[in-house]
A = this chain, B = another copy of it.
Amino acid sequence: MNIKTIAAMAGVSIATVSKIINNYSDVGEETRQRVLKIMEETGYKPSSSAKTLATKKSSLIGVVFAGKLNSDLDHPIFVKVLNSFKKQIGLLGYDLLFFSNETFFQTKEDYLARCRHFQVDGCIVIAGDNVEPSIDDLARSDIPCIGIDIALGGSNTTYLMSDNAKIAAKVVEHLYMCGYRELGLLGIDRNSGVTLIRENSFRDALRSFGLPLKPEWFVHSPGYEKECGYRAMKEWIAAGSLPRALFAVTDLLAMGAMEAAKEHGLRVPQDLAIVGCDDIDAAPFTDPPLTTVRQDTEKIGRLAALMLFDMINNQIDPSAIVVESELIVRGSCGGARSDRMA
């Protein structure tokens, strides 16, 4: 079932059928209706590869997970952003291509080659930590890209992220209001991107509130996972000199830390207040429920889709967008009400 079949059935040339598919004006109304009817009846859809070959447009958006995420799809935040992105970009006429084929491209990092191979119309780059330099090749290419949690540079690129620079300020302010004065941070070793922004803004916030920055209250774990937080907290406890409240740069770290603290008989929040960041699904279920900062993943994904669409179709080069996040106060910081049904 191809365009030739339809043309034959309708008694017209394939050029005419193609024009009807693409809404050209130089087709008679009667002919148009006749052909449309046949296409409808036969369920004919033009081949996407033939179309892509001829037009160099694929209606495909590439999904690039950059960095050392050891778990693409099951990252608690990114998958939500991606889900929202997928819904919106679908409405705009695009489908999603997940690159995963590591045999054809010997190296996972050759993002640009992958994009060219499939002729994606644009792509979304979702970043973890320690992003590879090869991402720059992609960003500097002519392919429109939108970064999530990564500040892409390049003329056809832009990016979106939560207001990470403000997140820590909200946290510090709340902890201050709760009466805490000894605040510490659980960060990520050699962290890059968003967690670094969070960490830096935490220092700034401490300064602006006139709170002490004791080096021993700044601890770093090698990764963002729960186990890392658990181990880091264990060592921290062993080293002594704990703050009264701590801000973990991800919820998973916070959860691991909470577990370790409780194992050592520390009560949360009475002995140690803990605040996370992200508001992942499990956050309301810790004991006590985790106070955290909620990223507006729905909005990030939706805006990313709209912006990428604009970049592809209107050659618009939008500036980076920062999406506001929200402090969610639960029990782990000892501040207030515990959490109920959302």
- Interface on A for B, CB 8 Å cutoff? 43, 45-50, 52-53, 58-60, 71-74, 76, 79-80, 82-83, 86-87, 89-105, 110, 113, 116-119, 227, 230, 255, 259, 280-282, 285-287, 341
B86 contacts A96, C-beta separation under 8 Å: no
B100 contacts A90, C-beta separation under 8 Å: yes
For the complex formed, measure the closest distance between the CB of A66 and the CB atoms of chain B, giving whole angstroms: 16
User: With A58-B49, A73-B83 in contact, is A96–B94 under 8 Å at CB?
Assistant: no
B47 contacts A50, C-beta separation under 8 Å: no
Chain B residues contacting A98 (CB-CB under 8 Å) are 86, 95-98
A117 contacts B47, C-beta separation under 8 Å: yes
B86 contacts A94, C-beta separation under 8 Å: no
Closest to A117 in B: B45
A102 contacts B95, C-beta separation under 8 Å: no
- Most B CB contacts (10 A, CB to CB) among A43, A90, A92, A259 go to A90
Beyond A49-B118, A71-B83, A72-B86, 8 additional pairs, beta carbon < 8 A: A43-B113, A46-B117, A48-B49, A59-B101, A90-B101, A96-B97, A282-B285, A285-B287
A83 contacts B91, C-beta separation under 8 Å: no
Complex Cα distance, B46 from A287, in Å, reads 54
Chain B residues contacting A119 (CB-CB under 8 Å) are 47-49
Complex Cα distance, B342 from A230, in Å, reads 11
Q: Please give me the 6 A-B residue pairs with the lowest Cβ-Cβ distance, nearest first.
A: A90-B100, A285-B285, A73-B83, A49-B52, A96-B98, A282-B282
Complex Cα distance, B48 from A80, in Å, reads 29
Closest to A108 in B: B90
For the complex formed, measure the closest distance between the CB of A4 and the CB atoms of chain B, giving whole angstroms: 14
Chain B residues contacting A92 (CB-CB under 8 Å) are 103
For the complex formed, measure the closest distance between the CB of A103 and the CB atoms of chain B, giving whole angstroms: 5
Closest to A98 in B: B96
Closest to A113 in B: B45
B45 contacts A49, C-beta separation under 8 Å: no
Complex Cα distance, B228 from A311, in Å, reads 41
A-B contact pairs, 15 of them (CB 8 A): A45-B105, A45-B113, A45-B116, A45-B117, A49-B52, A49-B119, A53-B53, A73-B80, A74-B80, A76-B281, A90-B102, A91-B103, A96-B98, A96-B100, A282-B282
Closest to A227 in B: B341
Chain B residues contacting A100 (CB-CB under 8 Å) are 86-87, 89-90, 94-96
Closest to A72 in B: B83
B282 contacts A48, C-beta separation under 8 Å: no
Taking a contact as CB atoms closer than 8 A, the residue among B53, B79, B110 that contacts A79 in the complex is: B79
B48 contacts A50, C-beta separation under 8 Å: no
Taking a contact as CB atoms closer than 8 A, the residue among B90, B117, B287 that contacts A48 in the complex is: B117
Complex Cα distance, B103 from A94, in Å, reads 9
Taking a contact as CB atoms closer than 8 A, the residue among B45, B102, B230 that contacts A341 in the complex is: B230
Chain B residues contacting A96 (CB-CB under 8 Å) are 97-98, 100
For the complex formed, measure the closest distance between the CB of A305 and the CB atoms of chain B, giving whole angstroms: 10
For the complex formed, measure the closest distance between the CB of A22 and the CB atoms of chain B, giving whole angstroms: 12
Chain B residues contacting A59 (CB-CB under 8 Å) are 101, 104
Chain B residues contacting A227 (CB-CB under 8 Å) are 341
